Amino acid sequence: MSPHAAAVLSGLGAWLPPRVVDNFELSETLDTSDEWIRARTGIAERHVAEPGKSTVDMAVEAGRRALASAGAADVDFVLLATSTPDQPCPGSAPQVATALGLNGTAALDVNAVCSGFVYALATGAGLIAAGVASTVLVIGSDTFTTLVDPTDRGTVPIFGDGAGAVVLRAGHADEPGALGPFDLHSEGELAELLWVEAGGAKHRVSADKSDYFLAMQGTAVFRHACARMAESSRAVLAKAGWTVSDVDRFVGHQANVRILQAVAKTLGLPVDAVVSNIEKTGNTSAASIPLALADAVTGGSLVAGHRVLLSAFGAGLTWGSAVLRWPDVTPGA
């Protein structure tokens, strides 16, 4: 492994739990409707993990498929992007590594919520560039349906569960699949726009059950997501020396189809460059970008050679973007 090697995407995997909950089913227990949810978010249905199935279980499924896709045997680092680990402590990545037959391998959680996958890609690329690792399995897995208050119509319709993964290997910056540059940011003073009040070190136990669920100021989050993803996309394109017309596919975090459309409009990207699978998945947080990539490859709308812009936004606040030329990689079975 050479120092300062580029990280090259060489495998892709996706996993959605089998249970599908559509908007009609939600409207049986919540004061909402299929019409409202579709119009405001673009979501028709989402996958929900069965009770007892967890972030680790889904991460293992996606990770196994990504390893099969890459034909990779020797992974020397596992990164798990998640903000819904199976336990508050320890991180879940070591359990994922062991379940994949990678016991003994370095394993670390990355918690940047819905930006987690882009942050974990950057972390993996950094580990490869520094010579710390030569093959990194990067998984995004989240079980957000466990984090939303089942009585809150403001959050329940938006989120779903799932996992997606990629394999990064050391390679050359001019190869298809070489990742980067990246553009990453955070703004902690706005953390309360989207957070869980209790269960952490500051407020371990609360008498109010709602403190354990996600509280979201939706309209403010919407506004920040549109502005920050557009800003960051422009920044990463400038770093890469690409113009907007160089972008064949825009794979943004799937939070709301209106956010994706607004970002594309601000950037001047054509509608058919926007990749979206949110109608069938909802917002799967750290899993959303690899799930969207896998869906687009399977559907034939993302093919080898396409120049891809990735951009994400999430709680924290966090946001970031990256570019790559899509390699000849298809999701593993």
Q: Is 36 in the site for ligand COA (CB under 6 A)?
A: yes
In the list 20, 21, 22, 32, the residue contacting ligand COA (rule: CB under 6 A) is: 32
| Angstrom distance (rounded) from CA 136 to CA 122 | 11
Contact 83, 113 (CB under 8 A): yes
Secondary structure class of 77 (helix, strand, coil)? strand
Q: Cβ of residue 233: shortest distance to ligand COA, in angstroms?
A: 16
Contacting range for ligand COA; rule: CB under 6 A; set: 50-58, 65-73, 86-94, 211-219: 211-219
In the list 104, 202, 219, 333, the residue contacting ligand COA (rule: CB under 6 A) is: 219
CA atoms within 13 A on the CB side of 208: 9
Secondary structure class of 311 (helix, strand, coil)? strand
Residue nearest to ligand COA according to CB distances in the complex: 218
Contact 174, 185 (CB under 8 A): no
- DSSP symbols for 125-182: HHHHHTTS-SEEEEEEEEEGGGTS-TT-TTTTTTB-EEEEEEEEEEE-TTSTTB---E
Q: Is 221 in the site for ligand COA (CB under 6 A)?
A: yes
Q: Is 256 in the site for ligand COA (CB under 6 A)?
A: yes
111, 114, 256, 306: the catalytic one is 114
Contact 103, 251 (CB under 8 A): no
Q: Is 205 in the site for ligand COA (CB under 6 A)?
A: no
Tell me, yes or no, if 103 is annotated catalytic.
no
Q: Is 213 in the site for ligand COA (CB under 6 A)?
A: no
End-to-end alpha carbon distance in the chain: 29
- In the shown chain, the binding pattern of residues 50 to 89 toward ligand COA, with x for contact by CB under 6 A and - for none, equals ----------------------------------------
Q: Cβ of residue 215: shortest distance to ligand COA, in angstroms?
A: 11
Tell me, yes or no, if 277 is annotated catalytic.
no
| Angstrom distance (rounded) from CA 125 to CA 179 | 7
Q: Is 111 in the site for ligand COA (CB under 6 A)?
A: no
Q: Is 314 in the site for ligand COA (CB under 6 A)?
A: yes
Tell me, yes or no, if 306 is annotated catalytic.
no
Instruction: Kindly report whether the peptide bond that precedes residue 88 is cis, defined as omega within 30 degrees of 0.
Output: no
Q: Cβ of residue 115: shortest distance to ligand COA, in angstroms?
A: 8
Q: Which residue ranges make up the site for ligand COA (CB under 6 A)? A: 32, 36, 40-41, 114, 153-154, 157-158, 216, 218-219, 221-222, 225, 255-256, 283, 313-314
